[in-house]
Structure 1
Amino acid sequence: MISTLISKVDPFLRTQNRRLVSSAFLLQVATAGLSYAAILLMARNMKVEEFGKYTYLNSWVMIVAILAGFGMPQSVVQLLGKYSSQKKPGKAWSLIRYSYQFSLISSILLSFSIYFVCRYLGDWEDAWVLCATLVPLFTITNLQVGLGRVVEKVATALMITHVIRHLTVIVAVVAGMVFAFDVVANSLFLWIAIVSFVAVVQQGRKIIPHFQWSDELVKKSEKKKWLSASLPFLGLTAGIFLIEQVDLLLIGFFEGEKGVALYAVASKVAYLVSFIYVAMTTSLAPKLSRLHHSGDKKSLRQLVNQAGKIMFISAIIVGAMVIGGKDVILNLMGEQYLPVADTLVLLVIAHMLFSFVGLSDSLLSMSGMQTKTFILYLISILSNFGLTVYLVPIYGLLGAAIGHLVAKVIFVIGVKITVRKYINLY
């Protein structure tokens, strides 16, 4: 099966932009590798409750930051391309300034919601200020990554933020091991806040100079149009995040820190199955967009079919390896995580089935069907929410995995039906 995958990958890369695919793919490899190294170190060297607290609150910070961004990291890319083709640099710079202002104000306001998460979903009031501080930093980071895509500096933007963030966690945990002190969630949040602030400043220095053109006075009606254009992207981005995280967020309410820690390990290990899928989706997005807008259906069909086969075969191979070595992998994290082996198997199967989507959901978004794509995500998320609420009290973490699996199947079926109905590649 591995030889089959290699035979498909080699001709596929020859037909694509090697430099674009390889650089984006390598960046994904580096980020994923550091992420799993951080998870491994935290799981083995932090108390289960502290690891669960960090994982749970970090997920809430990320979703609040996405909501605060209001879809602007994605819509700004689209709008700047439009203004560039129309030769309106003044309006483009006004858009960027407004995006920063809106993102900063909205993120500060929404950051106070973290207090209610800490107060009512767990006994974590000691952490809410630190976590609330991270919301504006993560929101601006996401916006600057979007701007980085416009000037082909996305690798720089991601390296400065995501890679550095994982390294911060790794260094903090290793320091705890060397100097024999307990690493707690609050200390990690503090160090991440400091490093993220420095990273945002440095990231801005690398990217903003590319956009410092003459300013232009913009009417309120134009700003409303910008927000309207961002709304579908908000739903899409939140949907992509929540389809992977909604069950974890609910487990924190039902099972507490320990349940979150156990499920988070199973979830992170299972996510290995989707690594090739995520990396290829990210690296091929610009190519997919160009082919779609050029009307080259033959090349578009070839890209979608070839990429889809590679994604699915790789998911089957990695999934089989993870299921076969589940006990060994979980034991690396710590003996306390061995009880989630069955949960891990269900989550792996969910990711294997999800890879069947291929580039279909990206194709829908590129075709201006962000709203339809969001509706599909929403249906899946609500299904996951309902099943998790019903099944977790009965089956525990295994119930959450069942809900996750069913939600993924619903999404795959919905995407395939929608693509066949609205997009003609033949």
Structure 2
Amino acid sequence: MAQSTTDTLRASPINRIKNVIRVFPAQILTILRGETDRHRAQRDAMTAFSVRCASAALMYLSQIALARWMGSYEYGIYVFVWTWVMVLGGLADLGLGVATIRFIPGYRETGETDLARGVVRGSRWLSVGVATLIMLAGLAGLYLFEPLDSHYMVPAYLALVCIPLYTLTWVQDGIGKAFAWMGLSLVPPYVLRPALLLAAMVAAHEAALPMDANTAVAAAIVATWITGVVQTVLMDRRIKATIGAGVRRYNFPLWLKVSWPLLVINASEFALQSADVLIVSHYMNPTDVAIYFAAAKTMSLILFVHYAVGSSVANQFAALYARGDHSELDRFAREASHWTFWPSLAAGVVLLAMGMPLLWLFGPQFTSGYPVMLILIIGFLFRSAMGPAEFLLNMLGKQKISAAVQVTMAVLTIVLNLILVPLYGLIGAATATSIALATGALLNSIVVSRSLGIEVAIWRNIFRH
């Protein structure tokens, strides 16, 4: 009887909370030390999420400053041309940025450091070369055909100059993740670049330069090029210390064979992220573009959790697969679903609660974008509920299936935006994007379940944490 009473007391909610509080500091220290693969993945996820949070703060500060100084019309022009930089710069790496996350851990597991060194250099030079060709083709196209309205032309010329170094940071983001260097992977593009952009705009403002789209894109050139150079120098030093500076061996046929489905995935992802902004810019004026962008990017902060977890576990997925440890892979993937969904849900609640004040910071007229946030949260949370399913597929050789799912999402978001934006404006764009996100997430979950035998959907794992 006494033993039963003791067990009851120990099992009481108050005692459970006390136990959690007592062991929490030790658990945090264990994670930070990274004593096991699981702890290292959790540490990487914490690092990635911390960087993303810092990035969100800087992004908000810089974007609010831009919107306030430039006004919604000029800010909308800047959003349009920078969206094209992100799309073209992200596609120029030919999918090699993601492919390195798969290849480098495998080469290190098998001791093929010559191939690891080769894929690092080869992916960099090929990506920057393609990006330079895209820049030159874009400059020639603008000059010969003048496809844009006059107020877009000069910012578009300037924006193209960002593409080569934007692509370099994009591919090095993947290289850093492949080595599990989350800080070196994420801090330059997500913290340093927006900080430099803000600093350049402050300097321009103090110098009494016109606060328009031209000045903003010029500041982006400075920020992008400095970021790319700094990241390259730091990464070269760390790569040399990790795998040496010996012979490099190249296997471009294999790398490109693997990377082209990843390129399709990237293209589809960019379509999913950018089609709404670009289609809104076609049917509506720059002010509407600015309002939609502010609301959508505010709500998309939820996805920081998804990408932070995916970035931190992708190399571990590849390593476990290379070892043939399928039971640990299954357990690890299910656990990653919890890491993704619950923080995303908490972030969504906070963002909706603070949505109106956050939008007001951009300018009073931006609060009209709050309904966009209410609609987009459905798609974002549905995607988070499936965990890092697409990362799992890409790292385990299922990139062609993943590409098919992403293409379906991209086509769906483009078609729905083209139908709904002319009819319902910003609400139509948000609805189209949310439907495409939810559909793609569900398809990814089904594919992972049927092809890998792993249930990543949160409702399949809620009692298995």
* 2:171 aligned partner, one-letter code: L
Counterpart residue type for residue 26 of structure 1: S
Distance in 2 (alpha carbons) for counterparts of 1:424 and 1:179 = 60
Asked if 1:35 corresponds to 2:64, the answer is: no
| AA at the equivalent of 2:99 | S
* 1:2-401 correspondence runs (5 A): 16-17=39-40, 18-115=42-139, 116=141, 119-123=146-150, 124-175=152-203, 182-209=210-237, 210-211=239-240, 213-215=245-247, 222-401=251-430
CA contact 2:49–2:304 (8 Å) conserved in 1: no
Report how far residue 285 of structure 1 moved.
Answer: 2.6
Task: Report the identity percentage.
Answer: 23
Q: Deviations over 1:221-260 (max 9, x none)?
A: x433332222122122233333222211221222132221
Kept after mapping to 1: 8 A contact 2:158/2:217: yes
Contact 2:107 2:116 in 1 (8 A): yes
Q: Distance in 2 between matches of 1:95 and 1:28?
A: 27
Is the CA contact (8 Å cut-off) linking 1:58 and 1:131 kept in structure 2? yes
Aligned length: 419
Provide the TM-score with structure 2 as the length reference.
0.80
**Matched letter for residue 131 of structure 1:** A
Report deviation, 1:52: 1.1
Task: Give, in angstroms, the shift of residue 137 of structure 1.
Answer: 0.9
What residue in structure 1 maps to residue 462 of structure 2?
none
Give the CA deviation at 1:273: 2.6
SS of 2:39's partner is coil
Greater displacement, 342-351 / 320-329? 320-329
**Cα drift, residue 152 of structure 1:** 4.4
Q: 1:151 to 1:322 in 2, by over 3 A?
A: closer
Q: Distance in 1 between matches of 2:433 and 2:125?
A: 37
How far, CA to CA, are the matches of 2:332 and 2:281 in structure 1? 40
The structure with the larger Rg is 2
C-alpha separation in 2, matches of 1:356 and 1:167: 32
Closer/same/farther in 2, CA of residues 292 and 101 from structure 1, 3 Å limit: closer
Determine if contact 1:51/1:261 at 8 Å carries over to the other structure. Answer: yes
Q: Deviations over 1:368-408 (max 9, x none)?
A: 11111111111111111011111111111111111111111
Per-residue deviation at 1:418?
0.9
TM-score using structure 1 length = 0.87
* Secondary structure in structure 1 of the residue aligned to 2:245: coil
Deviation, 1:113, is: 5.0
What are structure 2's unaligned runs of at least 5 residues? 1-15, 32-37, 456-465
Q: Is the 8 A contact 2:81 2:159 kept in 1?
A: yes
Amino acid aligned to 2:245: W
